[in-house]
Homo-oligomer: A and B are copies of this chain.
Amino acid sequence: MRPGQVLFTYLHLAADLDLTRELLGGGATCIAYETVTSPNGTLPLLTPMSEVAGRLAPQAGAHHLERAQGGRGVLLGGVPGVPAAEVVILGGGVSGTHATTIALGMGANVTVVDRSAEALRRIAAQFGSQVRTIFSTRDAIRQIVKRADLLIGALLVPGAAAPKLVTRDMVQTMKSGAVVVDIAIDQGGYFETSHPTTHSSPTYVVDGVVHYCVANMPAAVSRTSTFALNNVTLPFAISLADKGWRKALAEDPHLRAGLNIDEGQITCRPVAEAHGLPYAPAESS
């Protein structure tokens, strides 16, 4: 990167000191997708990837439940006369809602666990009595994990490491050939037993349970993901191109929230704190 250049992409600098240093040295203006905000307090450039990952999770889980992939050999939706698989989804936010949509669509018995009563009500209103909603307590998770054929960790806590909701001893109580899909692996993962895998070697087995913990899940459907991302980044990109980045940032506080590095200075507090480097607030005009 050279001074005067503008970088507008996913950066995740808090987790990458080398990249941070390189960008600081290059003098470029670095706007990170993942910290751009919206009027209602969400991170709108992360939402499409949460949607894609949520929808992929049951598909990945169903595939790895097949016998040849090491799974229990159960069909998510069963057939008439043979019960459907039990799918447990931890988290009823964006990813969890989309995972629920697809898991129900594939015919599974779906249970959503969340500690927010509001989230459970939203799930219940959208899906009706088709989906079981359970308030999240450590004990409730322990009970439900045992019964799961497919367990999806779908709670994304923006900017924070994912909590280890499912411990190793819980995994040991799961059925042999059950599958866990950890879509928070980029944040460290939900499961004590999780570690990142790749699209070319997506799973490993712990205590008889197949773990699917692929980093950057949305790349599996790159065509869909690219369009989804473009839809939300395009207006910002046009603003940057039309007005010049300085004016675009000055006029839009939500885009400005995405500014991580500006003229060799870190303008995003969490990034500065993560690396113990100095922080300089972005100017608003």
Contact = CB atoms under 8 A, between A and B. Distances in A.
A206 interface: no
B117 A199 contact: no
Given A102-B105, A117-B47, A124 B67 contact: no
B130 A129 contact: yes
Contacts of A172: none
Given A79-B48, A126-B125, A66 B221 contact: yes
Contacts of A223: 67, 72-74
Interface in A93-131: 98, 101-102, 104-109, 115, 117, 120-121, 123-126, 128-130
Nearest to A198: B68
Interface in A210-236: 219-225, 227-228, 230-232, 234-235
A212 to B, nearest CB: 12
A133 interface: yes
Interface string A18-51: 0000000000000000000000000010011001
Q: How many copies does the complex hold?
A: 6
Contacts of A67: 199, 219-223
A84 B134 contact: no
Interface stretch (A7-15, A57-65, A185-193): A57-65
A145 interface: no
A284 interface: no
A228 B51 contact: no
Contacts of A76: 59
B68 A200 contact: yes
B109 A73 contact: no
A276 interface: no
Contacts of A133: 80-83
A224 to B, nearest CB: 4
Nearest to A231: B135
A274 to B, nearest CB: 26
A256 interface: no
A221 B75 contact: yes
Nearest to A45: B117
Interface in A130-145: 130, 132-135, 137
13 contacts: A55-B107, A59-B106, A67-B221, A68-B199, A68-B200, A74-B224, A80-B124, A82-B134, A82-B224, A83-B132, A83-B133, A84-B129, A117-B231
Interface of A: 44, 47-48, 51-52, 55-56, 59, 62-63, 65-68, 72-84, 98, 101-102, 104-109, 115, 117, 120-121, 123-126, 128-130, 132-135, 137, 199-200, 219-225, 227-228, 230-232, 234-235
